[in-house]
């Protein structure tokens, strides 16, 4: 599982899931990425999905899934596990990405 660098509770960031190693040379992500789940793994957060600030998207190369995150000021010390999914231009391929994000004071 990918581990993003810790994020400061006052920060707003775009998490980038690099899918390059999962894709063939001429294959790209397409069809719209989906945030399948956001789960707090260290505490109880009944609204973990609220840290996602907008819809996921792709970078211009079609090889990264981008997710904007923030709203973390009350979540210091929490760790969040993300699961994202996307189809590719070579069906029936589906790429699944998982990553951990820690909210810590820098």
pLDDT digits (tens, 9 = 90+) for 55-89: 999 999 999 999 999 999 999 999 999 999 999 99
Q: What is the mean pLDDT of residues 11-27?
A: 96
The CATH number linked to 20 is: 2.60.40
What pLDDT score does 91 carry? Answer: 87
Residues 51/102, Cβ–Cβ less than 8 Å: no
Show the domain range for 34: 2-102
Residues in the chain: 106
Residues 90/4, Cβ–Cβ less than 8 Å: no
Residues 103/80, Cβ–Cβ less than 8 Å: yes
On the question of pLDDT at 12 being above 90, the answer is yes
How many domains is the chain partitioned into structurally?
Answer: 1
And the tokens for 90?
């070579």
pLDDT-derived band at 43 (thresholds 50, 70, 90) equals confident
């Amino acid at each position: 599982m990918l581990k993003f660098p810790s994020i400061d509770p006052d920060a707003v960031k775009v998490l980038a899931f690099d899918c390059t190693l999962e894709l063939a040379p001429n294959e790209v992500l397409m069809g719209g990425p989906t945030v399948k789940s956001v789960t707090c793994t260290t505490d109880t957060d009944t609204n973990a999905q609220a840290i996602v600030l907008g819809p996921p998207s792709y970078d211009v190369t079609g090889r990264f899934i981008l997710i904007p995150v923030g709203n973390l000021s009350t979540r210091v010390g929490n760790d969040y596990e993300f699961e994202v999914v996307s189809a590719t231009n070579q069906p029936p391929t589906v790429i699944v990405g998982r990553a951990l994000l820690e909210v810590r004071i820098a």
